[in-house]
Structure 1
Amino acid sequence: MARQSQIQIFFVSLAESAISFYFLPRVFPTTTLAGTFLIFLLINWSFYFVYLLIIYPFFLSPFRHLPKPGGSYGPIIAHGPIMFSQPPGSAFLRMMKEVPNDGIIHYRSFFHEDRLLLTEPAQIGDVLVHKSYDFEKSPWIRTFLRQFLGDGLLMTEGDEHKHQRKQIMPAFSFRHIKELYPVFWSKSVELCGAIKAELLEKKDGVIELNHFSTQVTMDIIGLAGLGRDIGSLRNADDELIKNYEEILEPTAEKGIYFVLHLMFPLRLIKMLPWKLNERVKITTKSLKRICREFVQEKKARMKMQSEEQIDILSILLRSNAFSDDGLVDQLLTFLAAGHETTSSAFTWASHLLALNPDVQKRLRAEIHENIALPRDISSEKIDIAGLLESLPYLNAVCNETLRLYPTIPVSSRVATRDTSICGQYVPAGTLSFIVPWAINRNPRLWGEDAEKFRPERWIDPGTGRANYIGSADSNYSFLTFLHGPRSCIGEKFARAELRALVAVFCGSFEMQMADPNKMVKPGGTITSKPIGGMWLRLHPVAW
């Protein structure tokens, strides 16, 4: 819309200058047509900016009567800086608490652009489910992420997204996830073995868990996604891990890099003499090369193997729906999203258990009571999937962790056409924010203790069984995996993986924060990671 308006201003100014120069020379007595054109261009741009900054937002916007937050940062800036609050989503949560509303809060961003914050299940359901293809991911977010994820499932929209999701869905069916539980369990056991070996070399029992968490989830997505044991737990210098840790490490510099993509075109940012540009180029090139090698290696192995493989890449290859470049893009997406989501959730689960020893003790008792041995039990013909899914407190702890620390704390959608949200007219180009961090912690949806870690909210007090909407009244009150056609396709995979990791880890170690007085702060640009890592003091326990 803005680009179209700029083109219109150019041609209107050209027409005005020609009419004035040839037919009204005394009105604008300039000696050249170019001079007249520049005068009209300046006048028209001035009127356009007044219209954009004052007339439209304050007198014509269809949202001007909606509830708004107070405390603007000032003219032009307005409430734009709340996007960069830390932890990500915290400013939106404050807004939800402080501004009385019926599901939509309107605020003005930089240059007084309209922004909508969705706060209630009905409005969220309209955008994510009922009119999901009226709203797409923000173009600048897609441009930023495409550098790292290619044109995989997360980046596509419309019919292309429908096609890709249909082809990929069989790899994430309930039956297929159940077959992968032994992989999740055996790698969880291997993780604890690697940590115990690390502890033997330390006198204080302190480790940084986030690195181990990244390694084990990368190994799991390697086996479950590629049918290949990457073995990063056995190789501290693994190239894949190093690349992703460099990309995802939460730093101020990466935050600035992310913000600049919001404000300026990608090609302009790439022209800057910035070392980070070179590092992004190197790491993304390396990741694409590794994924291409994985695809070629898998195709060669499938020709030699008669037994049908159950990993995700094998399923995609058998579908014949993707070119080699398309498979590389899907792998970039699954490797990043598949390991980072659960890695983050597992790290935050350990943090919450370390801060809540009573919860930790109760969970460990449930695990030890129901699971006899920590070693790989798949060989003992035990239904590990059914067993883990049946443990109410384990599932409650996992659900409560996912509620309080959603991996993607802030998401947004832009209207692709004139549409509406629960009867409120929304013109094309309007940006709406759906904020899992804020919705998952909103006291209106979860009660006064919404920001407290209370796994019991996920257990039915009458039956003692798991309750899958917690203490809320709607499943739209829990947005960690979003909902609808654009919901996380790997939700069941991530939940199953997290169950196994938390069960084995809590059953193997008693955990405390290395520094009980240090506040662990979430950070990051797209995902939520602990700034400075997650330092725990661990004590092995008898199983």
Structure 2
Amino acid sequence: MMEGPGPVHLVLLSLLESIISLYVFLPSRTLSGLFLIFATINFSAYVLYHLIIYPFFRNPLRHLPKPPHGFYPIAGHGFKMFQRPPGSSELAMIKDTPNDGLVFFHSFFHEGRLILTSPSALAEVLVHKSYDFEKPIWVRAFLEKFLGHGLLTTEGEEHKYQRKQIMPAFSFRHIKELYPIFWTKSIELCEVIKKELLDKPDKVLEFNHFTQQATLDIIGLAGLGRDIASLRNADDLLIKNYEEILEPTAEKGVYFVLHLLFPAWVIKALPWKLNERVRVTTGEIKRICREFLLEKKARMKLESEEQVDILSILLRSNNFSDDGLIDQLLTFLAAGHETTSSALTWASHLLATHPTAQSRLRAEIHAHIPDPKLMSSPSFDAASLLESLPFLNAVCNETLRLYPSIPVSSRVASRDTSINGHFVPKGTMSIVVPWAINRSPTLWGPNADQFVPERWLDAAAGDKANYMGGAESNYAFLTFLHGPRSCIGEKFARGELRALLAAFVGCFEFEMEVPGKEVRAGGTITSKPIDGMRLRLRTVEWVGEGAGT
């Protein structure tokens, strides 16, 4: 973002100055002595310019509104990135700083950052000038450790190509064909939980573990055409590796932030056990993905009819190499199961703490789905039924609003550009914060941080769906972002969440293990409950079927 020479240029400049001075002006000095003198002068000037002169006197964005509190010399507002839940500090800055779409703040070493706060600013960065803004290099390098060189980590023309080739697999027509898989695995989740409860006198389970198993099984069948069967195998290697990677610990939070401050090679060189665990777990996941691919290619030679899973579609397109397909599988497995798992976990928390909404949702489900077994039939239009349930969709939308799976994202200007008429120099980082935008009182009203599923219903029209949630702009809802870099699997994730939540609420009544205990959101990339989600459950009869599921 900042002007001026880099450190390598300063070393060369110091050496040149030393040689000239040695042979022309100061022949009595040694080369090493002159080099140290000029290097000290040049680096002092460099530090002065980058720490003080540019950030506070030359940065063209310095006149934008700034947060009134929390600035520290050198650190700027950088300590706020350690606050939990992720996105909460940006939300506080937005609330405390009157602005017209942009808030400017200083991060570590006074690096300038922008927070996008208005629909117009978000539209420019995410849609109208989307290829002027890229994921930061360090973010892409960090994600590639776990996701390979797939859709989430590519930029520019390569990203356009990959998205174009993958898009048919996520068409609305194709997603509708996957609903029987969503529902079958949702019912299997409930059956597994019922069996687990038999051995639990207190009827308390850590629900997040089961949501990860269910969503991994769904992406296995719908994405790879392979039943991973982690719900029936508690020791599944794939789920263990993902749980280890995604568990929201303070150590992983530090690991993530250090990648923001230092080059990856510096962190990799540290004698840190986490480095080795990341290498081992990611290596295991890549090995498993390669085995999945080889198995799938072998099975496709023997299958008589075309399969509808995503991997089959990509293989038939013949547009990806084996390594390219493995990178996409890494993305589908991680993003495809973790995001919906997180959403289902948070939905259970919101309904556990709002029993009236839970009862209303259960009544709607039982009234419209008298026979849950029928929903698994390919001949039954499960998609249309679930999409027509207004309160189910209201609860899903409100959960996704309050707990976006990716609470914070960022973009770096790849060229000189502008946002809302303000010149933005190349290299400027803009922060896109779904957690903050989705909870902004300016966009959602004074109850923005409260669970109010009714905001997604139109009371005047008989509680039919209100697709904007009362907000005036669709940019007020950022869970799936917008534009060319929006979540390609949004329809998949929404369908999966509808099915899982409907089956779970239809089968169980539930409350928090300790009513009133605060559940804190953590995680590095995704938003997950710290210490899990412990629920006390009671099996209920599925009204209309008589004997339950």
Q: Which runs of 5+ in 1 are unaligned?
A: none
Equivalent residue of 1:304, what SS?
coil
Q: Which residue of the partner structure matches residue 314 of structure 2?
A: 316
Matching of residue 16 in structure 1 with residue 17 in structure 2: yes
Q: How does 1:120-139 map to 2 (within 5 A)?
A: 120-139=118-137
CA contact (8 A) 2:374 2:380 kept: no
Q: How does 1:143-542 map to 2 (within 5 A)?
A: 143-379=141-377, 381-463=379-461, 464-542=463-541
Equivalent residue of 1:539, what SS?
strand
Displacement of 1:149: 0.5
Equivalent residue of 2:248, what SS?
coil
CA contact (8 A) 2:87 2:407 kept: yes
CA contact (8 A) 1:152 1:329 kept: yes
Displacement of 1:205: 1.1
Deviation per residue, 1:249-297 (Å, 9 max, x gap): 0001111111111122212211211111111111011001000000000
Q: Distance in 1 between matches of 2:94 and 2:377?
A: 50
Q: Distance in 2 between matches of 1:472 and 1:438?
A: 14
Q: Distance in 2 between matches of 1:500 and 1:377?
A: 10
Q: 1:376 to 1:204 in 2, by over 3 A?
A: farther
Q: Distance in 2 between matches of 1:533 and 1:316?
A: 35
CA contact (8 A) 2:248 2:528 kept: yes
Amino acid at match of 1:278: E
Amino acid at match of 2:116: L
Amino acid at match of 1:191: L
Q: Distance in 1 between matches of 2:359 and 2:469?
A: 21
CA contact (8 A) 1:415 1:430 kept: yes
Q: Which residue of the partner structure matches residue 90 of structure 1?
A: 88
CA contact (8 A) 1:206 1:514 kept: yes
Deviation per residue, 1:366-404 (Å, 9 max, x gap): 111111122352338331100000011000000000000
Q: Distance in 1 between matches of 2:377 and 2:225?
A: 19
Deviation per residue, 1:39-69 (Å, 9 max, x gap): 1111011011111111111111111111101
Q: Distance in 2 between matches of 1:277 and 1:416?
A: 30
Equivalent residue of 1:350, what SS?
helix
Q: Distance in 2 between matches of 1:270 and 1:186?
A: 43
Displacement of 1:16: 2.1
CA contact (8 A) 1:222 1:229 kept: yes
CA contact (8 A) 2:407 2:434 kept: yes
Q: 1:13 to 1:233 in 2, by over 3 A?
A: same
CA contact (8 A) 2:119 2:476 kept: yes
Displacement of 1:6: 2.1
Q: Distance in 1 between matches of 2:540 and 2:407?
A: 34
CA contact (8 A) 1:185 1:376 kept: no
Q: Distance in 1 between matches of 2:374 and 2:249?
A: 38
Deviation per residue, 1:10-50 (Å, 9 max, x gap): 2322332222222222xxx7521232122111101101111
CA contact (8 A) 1:30 1:36 kept: no
Q: Distance in 2 between matches of 1:387 and 1:406?
A: 25
Displacement of 1:4: 5.1
Displacement of 1:215: 0.3
Amino acid at match of 2:158: E
CA contact (8 A) 2:68 2:96 kept: no
CA contact (8 A) 1:144 1:261 kept: yes
Deviation per residue, 1:476-533 (Å, 9 max, x gap): 0000000000000000000000000111111111110010132100001110000000
CA contact (8 A) 2:190 2:507 kept: yes
Q: Distance in 2 between matches of 1:409 and 1:481?
A: 10
Please give the TM-score of this superposition, normalised by the length of structure 1.
0.98
Deviation per residue, 1:152-206 (Å, 9 max, x gap): 1000000000000000001100000000000000100000000000111111111
Q: 1:19 to 1:459 in 2, by over 3 A?
A: same
CA contact (8 A) 1:189 1:376 kept: no
Q: Distance in 2 between matches of 1:493 and 1:125?
A: 24
Equivalent residue of 2:479, what SS?
coil
Q: Which residue of the partner structure matches residue 53 of structure 1?
A: 51
CA contact (8 A) 2:340 2:496 kept: yes
Q: Distance in 1 between matches of 2:492 and 2:28?
A: 70
Amino acid at match of 1:330: Q
**Pairwise CA RMSD:** 1.2
Q: Distance in 1 between matches of 2:28 and 2:497?
A: 73
CA contact (8 A) 2:408 2:431 kept: yes
Equivalent residue of 1:412, what SS?
strand
CA contact (8 A) 1:9 1:45 kept: yes
Q: Which residue of the partner structure matches residue 545 of structure 2?
A: none
Q: Which residue of the partner structure matches residue 547 of structure 2?
A: none
Amino acid at match of 1:18: I
Q: Distance in 2 between matches of 1:533 and 1:62?
A: 45
Q: 1:299 to 1:189 in 2, by over 3 A?
A: same
CA contact (8 A) 2:180 2:378 kept: no
Percent same amino acid among aligned pairs? 69
Amino acid at match of 1:204: D
Q: Distance in 2 between matches of 1:183 and 1:376?
A: 13
Please give the TM-score of this superposition, normalised by the length of structure 2.
0.97
Equivalent residue of 1:63, what SS?
coil
Question: More displaced, 422-431 or 73-82?
Answer: 73-82
